[in-house]
Amino acid sequence: MPSFDRSAAVGFGLNPLDRMSEARADAEFVRARRHDAAARFMVFVGDVPLLDVGAGAPSPLFAAEAWIGLGPARQEIFLGQDEQGRPLFAVALDAGLAEAAAARPGLELLDLRSIAMRGLFPPDLLGELGGAKAILSWHDRHRYCANCGEPSRVSCAGWRRDCPACGAQHFPRVDPVVIMLAVDGDRCLLGRQPRFAAGMYSALAGFLEPGETIEDAVRREISEEAGIACAEVAYFASQPWPFPSSLMIGCFARAQGTDIVIDRNELEDARWFTREEVRQMLDGTHPEGLSAPRPYAIAHHLVRAFVEGTGPAL
């Protein structure tokens, strides 16, 4: 399934799986795919991916017999079928099995953020792994019915939870987040939080609120965090963000003022940067040692588009 949009170039943004959503409720079909000799499994111990490092390049894909002896699966999700026609499943093992799994020859546990930062896997495989983590994380956080509080049950191959007590059906949630670059001519607004790596500045971001459009959320977040009013807002790209299950909606906004008033509860600092300064941050040559986000993050693509002049017109 080829993709030609900007989002496909962002970390976790390329996922070519045929999700086969119409077949999820067919238990016999899913069971047959589960026992297909070609089936592959992405295995998580707790929320950490298990990697096969025994045959050279690391891989997150396992045949059933390669992981089944580690312990019972806490959760199995049918993710779909890859471009080679192989069924793909996500499997969650109990976090208490981490020591035993890591002790096995040829196996390694490595958190997903580190996998993405190191660029260990091609974009399509990273996207599939991110999707697997997000759906498994949803199950971990939604074991009880939000309507009546009773334990719910997994159905539809892992894509729904049903409450046997009140009949409510619950579907995987995705939390929308706006992440945006306010632009003033040849300058853009970047900020940093105390938890950031030393010297790193990024685009501002925040969750959408109920009853709010994307455009209004962009304007509100920039105003709240940096005191900058903005006019036009334009969409750029989006990024599935499996930490645990957000969708980052990347935008540009035209600033109407330049006087920054920082919300210290949100930001440690915020500054206007020229295109040349941002170029230096991307290249690692900034005279103050300042840096931009890594390429797997949508913030990196926002600032690079600003430098290269490939962002949307405002």
Cα–Cα distance measured from residue 1 to residue 81, given in angstroms and rounded to the nearest whole number: 11
Q: Provide the token pair at 284.
A: 């690692």
DSSP label at residue 292: -
CB 249 within 8 A of CB 299: no
Prediction pTM value: 0.95
Give the Cβ contact number of residue 67 at 10 Å: 21
Give the integer Cα–Cα distance in Å for 193 and 267.
Answer: 5
Fold of 175-308: Nucleoside Triphosphate Pyrophosphohydrolase (3.90.79)
DSSP 70-81: G--EEEEEEEEE
**Residue-wise DSSP of 107-137:** EEE--HHHHHHHT-S-HHHHHHHHHHHHHHH
Q: Do the bridges between strand 175-184 and strand 246-255 make them parallel or antiparallel, or are there none, so unpaired?
A: parallel
pLDDT in tens, 208-251: 999 999 999 999 999 999 999 999 999 999 999 999 999 999 99
Task: Point out which residues pair with 144 in neighbouring strands.
Answer: 151
In terms of phi and psi (left: phi > 0; alpha: psi -120 to 50; beta: otherwise), the region of 119 is left
pLDDT tens track for 250-294: 999 999 999 999 999 999 999 999 999 999 999 999 999 999 999
Q: What is the mean pLDDT of the chain?
A: 96
Give the single-character DSSP code of 313: P
What are the Cα distances from residue 90, in Å, to 34, 101, 159, 169, 272? 11, 17, 12, 21, 43
Q: pLDDT tens digits, residue range 17-26?
A: 999 999 999 9
What phi, psi does 62 have (nearest 5°)? -130, 145
Describe the chain by its helix, strand, coil percentages, rounded to 5. Answer: 30, 30, 40
Confidence of residue 4 (pLDDT cuts 50, 70, 90): low
Sign of the alpha-carbon dihedral angle for 114, 120, 124, 125: negative
43-to-92, 99, 110, 230, 288 alpha-carbon distances in Å: 6, 15, 11, 44, 42
Domain 6-141 classified CATH 3.40.50? no
**3 state DSSP class of 290:** coil
How many CB atoms neighbour CB 175 within 10 A? 12
Could you state, in order of their start, the residue ranges of all structural domains in the chain? 6-141, 142-173, 175-308
Burial class (CB in 10 A: 0-12, 13-18, 19+), 57: exposed
Half-sphere exposure of 19 (CA within 13 A, CB side): 12
For the stretch 27-55, pLDDT in tens is 999 999 999 999 999 999 999 999 999 87
| pLDDT score recorded for residue 3 | 43
Predicted confidence (pLDDT) at residue 2 exceeds the cutoff of 50: no
- Equal fold, 6-141 vs 175-308: yes
Confidence (pLDDT) at 55: 79
d(CA 143, CA 152): 6
